[in-house]
Chains A and B, each alone.
Chain A
Amino acid sequence: MDSITTTNLAIAYDESIVIEALEMKIPHGKITTIIGPNGCGKSSVLKAVGRILRFKAGAVYLNEEDITTLATKEIAKKMAILPQSPTAPHGVTVGELVAYGRFPYQRGFGRLALNDRKIIAWSLEVTKLSELEHRSVDTLSGGQRQRVWIAMALAQQTDLILLDEPTTYLDLSHQLEVLELLSDLNKKQGYTIVMVLHDLNLAARFADYMVAIKGGSIICHGTPDEVMVPHALKEVFQIDAQIVKEPRTGRPVCVTYDLVR
């Protein structure tokens, strides 16, 4: 079964069309990464799927239900979306920020019930933030901050998390830390994860399924071994890439590349 299906999806900002006739399937229970050059529309696809960007034509199905027929709060119980480098209000604590993830389940002034508190505590534990619960988010490192946002998404109790470049501005080890957390969530908790990633090698390392987008349409999709091939990367990124199998993970990596002239 697919978690998300798009049919004939078109996205436009004012008059300029970003995405046209996009047919995409996101497999359930897998990690999907969306790759593509700057401005190819990959973030727009993620936002349209996450219903925070209105699309012009076509349809998006979430577990085979048309998202335009679902109440936005109901969607928030099934799908969490984290935009690129979100900013927390000055002075908010880790616990307070994660508690906002309970919003779709709350009514009125949003007092936290016992069940809400349990779920928040669980989200903090999974993301290894329990000890930082009362810390102000401003005082955390970039990697910790990204984990706080992921914990907020976890508190939404969805099966599906969409993330737009979750590793932006992070150094090498923090990038890995965030991606390993997401990988753990997929393997141990069964989350379906969809993310836009910039770094090809990290995308190939963590993805079960990859989608390469260029100029508003899908150029190729499939397992990392199917997508990380020289002719596909040439078409998508205009690069002449040398791909080898990385001995430790068995995943394809791009060792070096040149511009196609």
Chain B
Amino acid sequence: MKVSINDSVRSDPFVNKIGRSWRALLVIIVGICVLVISMAFSLTQGVVQMPLSAAWDALMHFTPGSMQHLIIQDLRLPRVLASALVGAALAVAGAVMQGITQNPMADSGLMGLNAGASFILSLCFAFLPGLSYNYIILYSFLGASMSAGMVYGISSLQRGGATPMKLVLAGIAVSALLAAIGHGIAIYFGVAQEISFWTAGGVAGTTWQQLRILFPCIAVTLFAAILLSRSISLLSLGDDIAQGLGLRVNIVKFAAALVVLVLAGASVSVVGPVGLVGLIIPHIARYLVGVDYGWIIPSSAVLGSLLLVLADLGARMLNPLHETPIGAIIALIGVPFFLYLARKQRREA
């Protein structure tokens, strides 16, 4: 048979020339460089502007009495690190979800995980005031699991099972319900201000004590996600194919679901229910590095960190003296992207 290669121009010539692995490595290295620069710049910005050298001094030769050094060390550095961690966590959670469900619309925000975590946290504020951060992170993990169960349950009840669109709709419905009850509880028990400070404030209030728990929690889970990446690539071919190739699909899905719940729960415990990061970033990563989750996951982590660090910087710079909610900034970028994907999804279906 004669093979037609006339229209091979449609394939990406860049991929052929340098290979996807090199390209992915390039994305990750450049991404890390830009991330470090953005984080450094972010340290100098805020109500009090400082030169980069002051930030450097604060990190390297900390002088306890210096106001500048205190601002850098106790206020800005924790929030910059937290936004990098949370960005990586949300983006990887989205990438893993999209891979194991073969659902391009998967995102911990859209699927209601973030809402579940923040709902449980409003219960914590109301009934268990002064709870330590160890427990907060644990409860938000439980909350994410609860709403994940609800969303998946609702969308698989009907005939035809859990299709991408049904999951998104169920996610939105469950999110709205949990948000409404959460607000109700907040108002009734008079904790609305604390909660809105915590959710709208984003990473602003992050403390070193929180970071000490958050960092190992997210780092270990990200590592687990990378270990699972080959299996996730296989699952993205569909359950039947993956099983036929000898993958133990149920075990991998269970492990991947745990990874997603921990990442989403941990993120929400810091920034509140910020959605769409997990939707946007993996798509960009996939566009840049291809279909191998061995590359999609690490590059999503880097790009997700970058997005949240920049969003947090925006939160401080857009309207100085006030914090713009970080969720609002992400939504500003994320919603048009979501609409674009939804349209594309409908055309392909």
Contacts and interface: CB of A to CB of B under 8 A. Distances in A.
Interface of A: 47, 50-52, 71-77, 80-83, 86-93, 96-97, 100-101, 103-104, 108-110, 128-129, 131-132, 134-136, 139, 156, 177
B234 A128 contact: no
A147 to B, nearest CB: 9
A129 B1 CA distance: 10
Contacts of B102: 87, 89
Interface residues of B, number: 34
Contacts of A139: 7, 10-11
A80 B102 CA distance: 22
A132 B3 contact: yes
Interface of B: 1, 3, 5, 7-8, 10-12, 15-16, 20, 102, 104, 229-230, 233-234, 236-241, 243-248, 286, 290-292, 294
Contacts of B286: 90-91
B245 A104 contact: yes
B244 A100 contact: no
A132 B292 contact: no
A50 B236 CA distance: 19
B244 A89 contact: no
8 contacts: A51-B243, A72-B248, A73-B246, A76-B244, A89-B291, A90-B286, A103-B247, A134-B15
A80 B242 CA distance: 11
B169 to A, nearest CB: 22
Contacts of B290: 91-93, 96
Nearest to A87: B238
A76 B240 contact: no
User: Which 9 A-B pairs give the minimum distances between C-beta atoms?
Assistant: A76-B246, A73-B246, A83-B240, A81-B244, A52-B243, A104-B246, A92-B291, A103-B245, A89-B236
A86 B16 contact: no
Given A52-B243, A103-B247, A135 B238 contact: no
Given A91-B290, A96-B292, A135-B8, A101 B245 contact: yes
Contact of A136 (B12, B236, B240, B243): B12
Contact of B246 (A72, A87, A89): A72
Contact of A110 (B20, B230, B243): B230
Contacts of A134: 8, 11, 15-16
Contacts of B245: 76, 100-101, 103-104, 156
A51 B291 CA distance: 27
A159 to B, nearest CB: 15
Contacts of B237: 86, 88-89, 97, 100
A39 to B, nearest CB: 16
B244 A80 contact: yes
B51 to A, nearest CB: 43
A120 B292 CA distance: 17
Contacts of A77: 246
